[in-house]
């Protein structure tokens, strides 16, 4: 519901225990989830974290961008920890591939933008999606067919070489070298390629319990996010339909994961940002787990932003909210919540569409009393301090969506689940 890193991984992981099928439908290894199971930490970038439950099958659909080297590393890492993937992980032939030239171009474009750089993860996501819409991408189905892959790659490498040499004065790419490395990856990935979208359509007909996990965050959406400081896929709930090839009528419930405060990595505005001095009092980045899983960057910190929450609730059609990391606020004597923005003397309920205006908005705050007690041991909503409940009620009223989950720490058991999400 914000800029990613809300702690979706944990919520997805919890709901996965009740699902049969878990589906990842957009983005690539720019995403990252960290899951704690007991004292064991697992980091995921592409594979749905539901894979940790032996009964669950995981699907990576056509809307994703897959770096084969990264995916194979993730597969190997899980296998080394005793998690069986064969027959449990399936990849769509429609998914696009990320190659080394996408990663190089990502960095070159960023350098070219200078002070206007987006602050990408450098994983080649933007250039891969750009190739998809320019219709020069390579998809998984083609990748695992060496004859077709060779032909397609040759054509693209010639085109990329023109760009690399004439615009960036970089050395040319060696086609044979790229082909040889990727041919090996393709052989290893081929057993996972499967007619995913048709299989999922069949399972939906049988009313199977399917969980579609989002990646990144609403305001990184390529259309409705804080453009141009966004990622290159559709990160809102509708992006799931598009990326997984399912119709909107098939999604029965949408859960919006939202952090009890706001964070952002990469560049672009963060209206409720607190200054560096206060940030130290607000949280310790390491203790609060506010260091990116993918890039190791420290996240910028801000107060809860109501206009963003409200707009995200609308854009996603959220039925419920999962509020995460409430415990991080436990020590604060008072907590600010942004209820609107002032821009040129006018009060705004939702963020402006133009970045230059968004950069100028002044947050209008409501100051709520803190609770200064640990919430981490609460096992029911009634056990939360009164001021924590007031805080949660205020977030609900700003977003106009009821809260269904409250997360009070990274562990699976530190969660209050207020409803059953798999019953209509």
Site string for ligand IMP, 99-128 (x = CB under 6 A): -------------------xxxx-x-xx--
Q: Which of residues 215-234 bind ligand IMP (CB under 6 A)?
A: 215-216, 220, 229, 231-232
Q: Name the residue nearer to ligand IMP (CB basis): 230 or 403.
A: 230
CB distance 120 to 30 below 8 Å = yes
**CB 102, min distance to ligand IMP, A:** 10
Q: How far is CA 253 from the centre of its chain?
A: 18
**CB 32, min distance to ligand IMP, A:** 6
Which of 2, 25, 26, 30 forms a contact with ligand IMP (CB under 6 A)?
Answer: 30
**CB 268, min distance to ligand IMP, A:** 6
Please count the residues of this chain forming the interface with ligand IMP, following the rule CB under 6 A. 21
Pairing verdict, β 304-305 and 334-343: parallel
* 4 near ligand IMP, rule: CB under 6 A: yes
Token output for 174: 């060696």
Q: Which of residues 312-371 bind ligand IMP (CB under 6 A)?
A: none
Q: Name the residue nearer to ligand IMP (CB basis): 215 or 416.
A: 215
**CB 92, min distance to ligand IMP, A:** 20
* 272 near ligand IMP, rule: CB under 6 A: no
Dist CA 78 CA 49 (whole Å): 11
Token output for 371: 């609770």
CB-based contacts of 393: which residues, under 8 Å, 6+ apart? Answer: none
CB distance 26 to 235 below 8 Å = yes
Dist CA 409 CA 65 (whole Å): 31
CB distance 13 to 47 below 8 Å = no
Q: Name the residue nearer to ligand IMP (CB basis): 266 or 307.
A: 266
Which of 63, 214, 256, 266 forms a contact with ligand IMP (CB under 6 A)?
Answer: 266
CB-CB neighbours of 334 under 10 Å = 10
Q: Name the residue nearer to ligand IMP (CB basis): 244 or 392.
A: 244
Q: Name the residue nearer to ligand IMP (CB basis): 120 or 218.
A: 120
Catalytic residue among 13, 33, 45, 102: 33
Q: How far is CA 388 from the centre of its chain?
A: 27
**CB 129, min distance to ligand IMP, A:** 9
Catalytic status, residue 320:
no
Q: Which of residues 166-225 bind ligand IMP (CB under 6 A)?
A: 215-216, 220
H or E stretch at 58: strand 57-60
Pairing verdict, β 40-44 and 33-37: antiparallel
Token output for 94: 């429609």
Q: Name the residue nearer to ligand IMP (CB basis): 7 or 32.
A: 32
Dist CA 364 CA 340 (whole Å): 5
Strand partners, 417: 405
Instruction: Residue count of the chain, please give it.
Output: 424
**CB 64, min distance to ligand IMP, A:** 12
Catalytic status, residue 169:
no
Dist CA 86 CA 83 (whole Å): 10
Which active-site residues does the annotation give? 5, 33
Site of interaction with ligand IMP (CB under 6 A): 3-5, 30-32, 118-121, 123, 125-126, 215-216, 220, 229, 231-232, 265-266
């Amino acid at each position: 519901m914000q800029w990613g890193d809300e702690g979706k991984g944990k919520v997805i992981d919890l709901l996965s225990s009740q699902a049969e099928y878990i589906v990842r439908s957009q983005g690539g290894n720019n995403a990252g989830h960290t899951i704690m199971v007991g004292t064991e930490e697992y980091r995921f970038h592409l594979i749905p974290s539901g894979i940790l439950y032996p009964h669950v099958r995981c699907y990576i659909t056509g809307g994703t961008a897959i770096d084969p080297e990264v995916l194979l590393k993730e597969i190997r890492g899980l296998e080394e920890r005793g998690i069986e993937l064969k027959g449990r992980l399936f990849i769509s032939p429609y998914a696009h591939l990320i190659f080394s030239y996408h990663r190089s171009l990502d960095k070159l474009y960023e350098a070219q933008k200078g002070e206007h750089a987006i602050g990408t993860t450098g994983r080649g996501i933007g250039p891969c999606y750009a190739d998809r819409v320019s219709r020069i991408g390579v998809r998984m189905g083609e990748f695992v067919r060496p004859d077709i892959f060779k032909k397609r790659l040759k054509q693209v490498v010639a085109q990329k070489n023109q760009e690399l040499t004439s615009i960036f004065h970089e050395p040319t790419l060696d086609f044979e070298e790229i082909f040889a490395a990727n041919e090996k990856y393709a052989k290893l990935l081929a057993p996972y390629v499967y007619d995913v979208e048709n299989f999922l359509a069949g399972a939906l007909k049988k009313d199977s319990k399917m969980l579609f996990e989002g990646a990144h965050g609403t305001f990184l959406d390529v259309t409705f996010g804080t453009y141009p400081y966004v990622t290159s896929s559709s990160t809102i709930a509708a992006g799931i339909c598009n990326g997984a090839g399912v119709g909107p009528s098939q999604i029965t419930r949408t859960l919006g994961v939202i952090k009890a405060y706001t964070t952002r990595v990469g560049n672009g505005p963060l209206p409720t940002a607190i200054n560096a001095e206060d940030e130290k009092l607000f949280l310790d980045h390491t203790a609060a787990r506010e260091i990116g899983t993918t890039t190791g960057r420290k996240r910028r910190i801000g107060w809860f932003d109501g206009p963003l929450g409200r707009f995200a609730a609308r854009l996603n059609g959220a039925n419920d909210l999962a509020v995460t990391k409430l415990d991080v606020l436990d020590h604060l004597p008072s907590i600010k919540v942004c209820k609107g923005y002032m821009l040129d003397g006018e009060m705004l309920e939702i963020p402006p569409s133009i970045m230059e205006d968004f950069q100028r908005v002044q947050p209008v705050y409501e100051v709520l009393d803190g609770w200064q007690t640990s919430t981490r041991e609460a096992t029911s909503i009634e056990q939360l301090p009164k001021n924590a409940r007031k805080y949660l009620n205020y977030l609900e009223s700003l977003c106009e969506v009821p809260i269904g989950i409250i997360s009070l720490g990274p562990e699976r058991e530190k969660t209050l689940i207020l409803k059953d999400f798999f019953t209509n």
